[in-house]
Structure 1
Amino acid sequence: MSEETSRHAAAPRVRTIASSVPFLDCLADALLDGTLIPGFSPGGDPFALVRASIYLPTRRACRLFGETLLRKTIAAGGGTAVLLPRIVPLGEIDEDTLAFADAFTDPPLPVPETRRRLGLARLVRTWRDAVGEGSDNRQAVAAGPATELALADALVGLIDEMSAQNVPWSRLDDLVPGEHDAYWDLTLDFLKIARDMWPAMLAEQRMVDGGVRRDQLIDAEVERLRSLGAAAGPVVAAGSTGSMPRTARLLDTVARLPLGCLVLPGLDTSLDEAAWNALLAEDDPSPSHPQFGLAALLSRLGVRRADVLPLHPPAAADREWLLSEALRPAATTDRWAGLAEVEPQARLARGFAGATVIEADDSREEALVIALALREALETPGRSAALVTPDRDLGRRVAAELLRFGIAIDDSAGVPLSETPLGRFVRLVAGVVEQRFAPVPLSALLRHPLARFGQERALHEAAADALELMLLRGPRPAAGSDGLIAAADAFSAGDVHPSDPRAKLTEEAQQAARDLARRIAAALGPLVALDSGTHSFAALVEAHHAALAAATDDAQALADLAAPFEQLADGALWAAPQTLSDYAEQLPALLAAMPVRAALVPEARLRILGPLEARLVSVDRVVLGGLVEGTWPGAARTDPWLSRPMRASLGLDAPERRIGLSAHDFAQACGAREVILSRAAKVGGAPTVPSRFLQRLAAVAGDANWTAAVARGDRLRGLAARLDSVPALPPFERPAPTPPVELRPTSLSVTEIETFLRDPYSIYARHVLKLNPLERLDDEPGASERGTAIHEALGRFAAQWPEALPEDAEARLAAIGREAFAPLRPFPAEYTLWWARFEAMIGSYLAFERERRATRPAIVAETFGRMEIAGTRGPFVLRGRADRIEVFRDGTLAILDFKTGTVPTARQTRVNYSPQLPLEAAIARADGFRNVPPFPTADLVYVKIGGTAIEEKSVVEADTSAMDLAEEALARLQTLLHAFENPAQPYVALRRPMFRGRFGDYDHLARVKEWSVNGEGEGE
């Protein structure tokens, strides 16, 4: 061994690449030209690199570095291929498990992640049950399967963290019970149990935690490298900060090898020595500083910062100096006072010259502006750009906005399986059965593009349309697949009102819907069989997979489901027995941990990267998005197992350490040639606080520089605003269609006449356009259903006993009422309340009946009537159904209408706002009601049914008569009908909206919200 080689073997060889220098390109150049490791220069030897080993933080960095080396060696060799070195991902805090090809001859198997999560969740459940059923402590521990899984995930993180930081579990014994809150004593008891039970469960399967396996692999690699020495060949570790003790040990070993070199990312060489030394001060360290990890690593290596040589001069020295000043330790920020001098001011201006600040109003605008900034980079050939953010929601928003330009961006994080179309299909199948075939999830499943149920797509969609219209809109059918089939078999289009859209369903469509209901029941049958009771997780997974296979015939989807269900089936080994509801509740979280990533596209010009992955990736324009407190840096995570003092006693890193890592990632990303800093003033409707990194930059850069950067951002915001701008449009006018006379209705009911008077447009939409409103999916019963049940009960009672009441009237009315209220039984809350009120009202109603019948009238209940009104196009038919007509011996009538809602006043009736009863009197006088003689009407009465009270309200005032009201209402109706026989007469929207309901069925079609805000009046 030469003297030079010996000297380098004794002292660590450490280099750095500035944040403003493309990391992977610089590393590749230094490796190829021999400047990285003295004594190693590949030259033109195509086999030289194969002897080298390169350790990088992430698998993506490894793939990109391999592509970079390949590109450079082929270019240098005139197209000659070379063999690449061994490129190994080290792994960092949240990264993949280490996998060295020849470092460990018999590595232990890592426990599969799904099995580990479900096994620890079972431990949590066992512990919760042991704490005491129904006790306050049990409620404090967990409340359901999803919470148990969340606690298991937190325990997974704690296990990995203690392993990574070399904290033995025996230290739990040093924590003294009683010194903490009672909850922490409870969790400490569990952790002491888990530290024994969990390793025993792993040992039984001859497995270890992934973190333990990683540590063993690193230890083995360290020993291998030390034993080989110079024979290990060129060894380079680059891009890691050594935040984990064992990783730091490996970096130390690599740096001391005869042909080894450690390359640090973005070591700050401009921070003054006093501030640098303050980072690791024993009395007040600065773990939140971006250089804290590198300072700790250099201290471990015994290397002075001055001895770390850069591989390339900084490409933007002023930018790096600016960031160093902005992020300096808080204890030394008094040095900012010196920045007011002329030269520092000039450096600040140069350092901030390439920066842009986007201050968006909300997250929607932020995503759109970022998408536009990325798209703008493509205008220059060969230019690249990336969004760097820890906010996955922002990343998905930007990816969606880019689709408007036809750009599918390369997203390194991928998409959780639970949020993909395939994942949603998996969740819907389980959710439909778990929710007992409730209309909303069932409709969503039927509309999913993967749903087939053994039919061609077109046939399935037609059958789904019919099934939704028949059963899923309005109040839900009986629960379960049997209820769905029974409701489908019982449906008949002839049983519904002709105006109901369901009345138009053909027999063929009805049969298709019935067939689909049976197909759904058969396909989901395996899960339906497990709908009650507790089952093994394996049985639930198997049944779920069988149901999915029966629900779709998409071969690719079924192939893509194979791996996730293998993971779920593997996890079943340790999962606790559970109900289908438990399984469905845990499923989203289980699927979310299975990301779906697109294949790496090395030549992609646009990317979305997480902060860690962006550390070594170089692009021309970098957008740092989501720069608000709680996102970047992230909020300090609350550990449900250990309090902050407990973590400190164990020797675990303080939460501020994560802030330091975020700060380092921020500083690295800001080294790009062009940097855009973005934040939203509001996220989710709540105001945000700018990231502390932004606040520090603003404080150091100065008002003028910051204002200029914001102005550059406003340019992008202006472009984004213009992107969605539309030409000025004339204000919307109140619609007033004039259809041909032959299309206008020639028959209306008395209740529709009221609508005709107040809102002619509704009559146009229903009778000219033939549009009937659909009920909402799974619409809970409201006032209409309650009124229908009461009307049916009282009408049937009066029809059965039109004269004398039976002796057991209370029992008879109650029995009829139970039949009328039966359709509401699937809604227990509404049924219980409304039925109780009906029962309480029976006594008052019978008292009302006895008082009304004292004059011995003959009662005709729920009778239909019609009359013809002469018109220029022939007779117009006025229809109506009277709730009750009383025929008195003196040759007069009383017409009653039962109301469970608002009752029209006598004045509203007199001014023709509510002409229902007067028009019914006109029909009666014209001998239009069945079984009712053509007598004049003496009284028009609304019977208000509210709670337990029965209140009669006559609309006939002292200075008029019922027949006067009838004649006046009929005359006004004739005038109205003759007016609308004129083809120029429009059907104006909301002509007389007074006393109209707040929302009409056709308001959206009439675009009421658009024209009503223009200052136009709403009719008379």
Structure 2
Amino acid sequence: MRVAAFPVETAFLPALARAWLATGGDASDGLIILPSRRAARALAGAFLQANNGKPLLLPHIIASGALDDVALALSGVLELPPAMPAMMRQAILAKLILARHGQNGAPKKLHTAWSLAGDLAALLDEAAIAEIDLAAALSTVVSAELAIHWQTTLEFLEIITHSWPAILSEMGMIDAVQHQILLMDSQSKAWAHRAPEHKIWFVARDVSPAAGRLAKTIAGLPQGAVILPGYDAAMQASAWHDVNDVHAQNGIANLLTILGVRHEEVELWKSPPSKVPAGRGALLSRALLPAAKLSEWQLPAPIDASGLYRLAARDEHEEATAIAMALREALDEQGQTAALVTPDRSLAMRVTAALRRFGIIADDSAGEPLSDTPPAVFLRLLADAALSDFSPLPLLALLKHPLTAAGEPPEICRDHARALEIAALRGPRPTPGFDGIKFRLVENNASTERDFLDRLELCLRPIMGLPKALNPSDALRCLLEAGENLTATAAETGAARLWDG
């Protein structure tokens, strides 16, 4: 059984690419399984760098959550029931919630039921990943004295413990996570039955039980290996026994237990020279000792803190700006890369904004929520304005959005919006709708602003006066039509501006 790791000071993906090429043979003949699609994409660049920029055929590189992309164990795959699409599952769960008609506090409104259905779907997935029987586990969650109150919750959760399994059985489908688990087990059995002739490397750290079984099969293959990213080789064997659920090495400790491999049996592969000081790994290992071993801090040990700094910022803005300046300074050196690693999403967003002021677009690994993208923000403002019957504040927020144009250049549109605000939207609130605003404009003899308001009304006509009991798809269609009307300029269509990029 082969389990390996690189020194923590090493850049992992470049070292992985070099190690693969160093094994010799056809570089394209094999499979590398990585934890995420992002890592899979980055490894392709690491291979190019390891090959000195020369083109080469790459091995098959996939994410562990996309094993269905591998045309292996085909017979087992064909025997699996189809996976339930996520949106279909959430819609059915929302329908089951609404069917309770508010019983035991169940929501009665669609948007609330839809959100709760998403939470129930996440609970189903978490239980499936951990291979927990929800129906059996939930009944033992609370103590006996709370059982009466818990019973009400259990009756509601019958949606996922009883109703949902019956629906899946009737439809002949399974949850997508369960499909992935069965696929991993099928693949694991196929490789155990007949070992492939090519290399298979599995990069794993925090794994589910199914992924752990697959890792154990791969580690036992003649040309298989499991590589542990971020493995602490400096931590003593006695400390590994004290690693708990909150420790940084907990995922690796659990995986080693599944594999039946001891800490000292992990191979430490050689890696290219690194700019990171050699003692950095030992320093971090000492700093992150399990709680039961903190007494070792009192023992003398060499500490190399070169390259480590403490930033004492006065406020959040100064903190983000200082980090952005440090990242910018690193990029001034040709070929230099830099990264910010933080669990604080608000800090990451502030740093991203500060970098943008420097003309640097940060590649945020967490991505950007769809609801926070410029088109989505614009459409939300448009919906808010329509729901408020175009009251002053929501209307002005919409008109001052950069995408709003109403057939004019955006900067001219904003000038008209400011003039409209002064002429009709300040002071006592006008009556709902555009009629109240028009009356105010007539009173103030603002003919230019009246022409602008007429253009707005023409753009927004698809969402004006819509019935409250409107099919959601029809309401969305009207919203998109009004949005494209409002973002259009004389030189560019609204669709091109709204959906560009």
TM-score interval, smaller chain: 0.7 to 0.9
Aligned mate of 2:13, from 24, 43, 48: 24
Contact persistence 1:74–1:82 (CA under 8 A): no
When residues 435 and 461 of structure 1 are mapped into structure 2, their CA distance, relative to the original with a 3 A threshold, is same
1:546 corresponding residue in structure 2: 481
- Report Cα offsets for 1:91-140 as digits up to 9, x if no partner: 4xxxxx55423145546554444444454344444446122xxxxxx2xx
Equivalent position of 2:102 in the other structure: 129
Shift of 1:334: 2.1
Does the 8 Å contact 1:429/1:524 carry over to 2? no
Tell me the residue number matched to 1:590.
none
SS in 1 for 2:402: coil
**Per-residue deviation at 1:411?**
2.0
In structure 2, relative to structure 1, the CA distance for the partners of 1:196 and 1:549 (3 Å cut) is farther
The 3 A distance-change label for structure 1 pair 199 and 535 is: farther
Aligned residue type for 1:130:
Q
Question: How far, CA to CA, are the matches of 2:429 and 2:85 in structure 1?
Answer: 42
The one-letter code of the counterpart of 2:476 is V
Cα drift, residue 287 of structure 1: 1.3
Closer, same or farther: CA 326–379 of 1 in aligned 2, 3 Å: same
Contact 1:485 1:517 in 2 (8 A): no
Structure 1 position 522, deviation (Å)? 1.4
Aligned to 1:356: 309
C-alpha distance after superposition, 1:241-287 (max 9, x if no partner): 142111111111111111111111132222222222233xxxxxx11
Say if 1:173 and 1:560 are closer, same or farther in 2 by CA, change over 3 A: farther
Deviations 1:510-550, CA, capped at 9 Å, x for gaps = 4404523531551423xx313x3x34333333332333233
Alpha-carbon distance between aligned partners in 2 of 1:128 and 1:326, rounded to the nearest angstrom: 54
Structure 2 distance, partners of 1:455, 1:556, is 11
1:50 aligns with 2:16: no
Point out the structure with the larger strand share. 1
The CA distance in 2 between the partners of 1:356 and 1:258, in whole Å, is 45
Q: Deviations over 1:960-1015 (max 9, x none)?
A: xxxxxxxxxxxxxxxxxxxxxxxxxxxxxxxxxxxxxxxxxxxxxxxxxxxxxxxx
Structure 2 residue 250 is matched with structure 1 residue 292: yes
- State the match for 1:418 in structure 2: 371
Per-residue deviation, residues 195-220 of structure 1 (Å, max 9, x unmatched): 33334455666654331222132223
1:449 aligns with 2:438: no
Superposition deviation, residue 452 in structure 1: 3.6
Unmatched tracts of structure 2, length 5 or more: none
Residue pair 1:66, 1:84 contacting (<8 A) in 2 also = yes
User: What corresponds to 2:442 in structure 1?
Assistant: 492
- Determine which of 168, 175, 178 is the counterpart of 2:133: 168
Equivalent position to 1:65, from 18, 43, 47: 43
- Give matches, 1:826-841, under 5 Å: none
**Does structure 1 retain, via aligned residues, the 8 Å contact 2:215–2:226?**
yes
> Contact (CA 8 Å) 2:423, 2:440: kept in 1 or not?
no
Q: Which amino acid aligns with 2:230?
A: G
Distance 1:312 1:182, change over 3 A: farther
Instruction: Give the stretch that moved more between structures: 286-295 or 113-122.
Output: 113-122
Give the 5 Å matches for 1:324-343: 324-338=285-299, 341=300
2:463 is aligned, of 524, 540, 552, to 524
Larger gyration radius, structure 1 or structure 2: 1
Give the equivalent residue in structure 2 for 1:221: 187
Equivalent AA in structure 2 for residue 129 of structure 1: G
Structure with a larger share of its residues in helix: 2
Using structure 1 for the length normalisation, give the TM-score. Answer: 0.45
Match of 1:429 among 353, 371, 382: 382
Report deviation, 1:434: 1.2
Counterpart for residue 318 of structure 1: 279
Q: Distance in 2 between matches of 1:241 and 1:556?
A: 49
Matches within 5 A, 1:234-273: 234-238=199-203, 240-273=204-237
Question: Shift in Å at residue 489 of structure 1?
Answer: 4.6
CA change 1:109–1:558 in 2 (3 A) is farther
Which whole-Å CA distance do the structure 1 matches of 2:166 and 2:484 have between them? 37
Q: 1:396 to 1:114 in 2, by over 3 A?
A: farther
Equivalent AA in structure 1 for residue 71 of structure 2: D
Counterpart-to-counterpart distance in 1, 2:497 and 2:89: 23
Instruction: Indicate yes or no: 2:265 matched with 1:307.
Output: yes
Q: Tell me the matched-pair count.
A: 491
Q: Which amino acid aligns with 2:285?
A: S
CA contact (8 A) 1:485 1:518 kept: no
Change (3 A) 1:517 1:378: closer
Is the partner of 2:454 in helix, strand or coil? helix
**Structure 2 partner of 1:929:** none
Q: Please state if 1:537 is matched with 2:472.
A: yes
CA shift, 1:436, in A, is 1.7
**560 and 295 in structure 1: CA distance in 2 versus 1, 3 angstrom threshold:** farther
Q: Does 1:467 align with 2:420?
A: yes
Deviation at 1:152, TM superposition (A): 3.2
Distance 1:69 1:513, change over 3 A: closer
Q: SS at 2:32's partner residue?
A: strand
| Superposition deviation, residue 17 in structure 1 | 1.2
Which residue in 2 is equivalent to 1:725?
A: none
Q: Which residue of 2 aligns with 1:710?
A: none
Residues 195 and 221, structure 2, Cα contact 8 Å, conserved in 1: yes
2-side partners of 1:160 and 1:371: how far apart? 37
* CA displacement at 1:449 relative to structure 2: 2.9
Structure 1 residues 59 and 17 mapped into 2: Cα distance closer, same or farther (>3 Å)? same
Q: For 1:419 and 1:150, how far apart are their aligned partners in 2? A: 18
Gaps of 5+ in 1: 1-11, 35-40, 43-47, 92-96, 132-137, 280-285, 494-501, 563-595, 599-1020
Counterpart CA distance in 2 for 1:492 and 1:381 is: 63
> Within 2, Cα distance between the matches of 1:207 and 1:367?
48
Task: State how far apart, in whole Å, the 1-side matches of 2:135 and 2:330 are.
Answer: 55
CA shift at 1:432, angstroms? 1.0
Change (3 A) 1:112 1:436: farther
Question: Secondary structure of the equivalent of 1:67?
Answer: helix
Taking a change above 3 Å as real, the CA distance of residues 298 and 537 of structure 1, as seen in their structure-2 partners, is same
Instruction: After superposition, give the CA deviation of every residue in 1:165-211 in whole Å (9 maximum; x if it has no partner).
Output: 11123424743885436553322222223233334455666654331
Distance 2:175 2:137 in 1: 19
1:828-869 Cα distance to aligned partner (Å, 9 max, x none): xxxxxxxxxxxxxxxxxxxxxxxxxxxxxxxxxxxxxxxxxx
Mapped to 2, the partners of 1:242 and 1:464 lie a distance apart of 53
- Give the deviation of 1:552 after TM superposition: 3.0
Cα deviation 1:135-169 (Å, max 9, x = unaligned) = xxx2xx66976654553333232111111111123
Superposed counterparts of 1:418-817, under 5 Å: 418-454=371-407, 457=410, 460-461=413-414, 463-480=416-433, 484-489=434-439, 491-493=441-443, 502=444, 505=446, 507=447, 509-516=448-455, 518-525=457-464, 528-530=465-467, 532=468, 534-553=469-488, 558=495
SS at match of 1:355: coil
In the alignment, residue 220 of structure 1 is paired with which amino acid? S
- For 1:194, the aligned partner's letter is I
Q: Does the aligned pair in 2 maintain the 1:120–1:152 contact within 8 Å?
A: yes
Counterpart CA distance in 1 for 2:442 and 2:39 is 64
| TM value normalised by structure 2 | 0.88
Find the aligned partners of 1:229 and 1:513 in 2 and give their Cα distance: 72
- Structure 1 residue 322, shift from structure 2 partner: 2.0
Structure 1 residue 557 displacement after superposition: 6.5
Query: Within the alignment, does 1:102 sit opposite 2:71 as a pair?
Result: yes
Q: 1:176 to 1:366 in 2, by over 3 A?
A: closer
Name the SS of the counterpart of 2:245 in structure 1.
coil
Aligned mate of 1:153, from 110, 115, 118: 118
Matches for 1:866-885 after TM superposition, within 5 Å: none
Question: In the aligned structure 1, how far is the partner of 2:43 from the partner of 2:91?
Answer: 37
2:194 is paired with a residue of what secondary structure?
helix
Q: Alpha carbons of 1:14 and 1:110: their partners in 2 closer, same or farther (altered >3 Å)?
A: same
* C-alpha separation in 2, matches of 1:183 and 1:201: 28
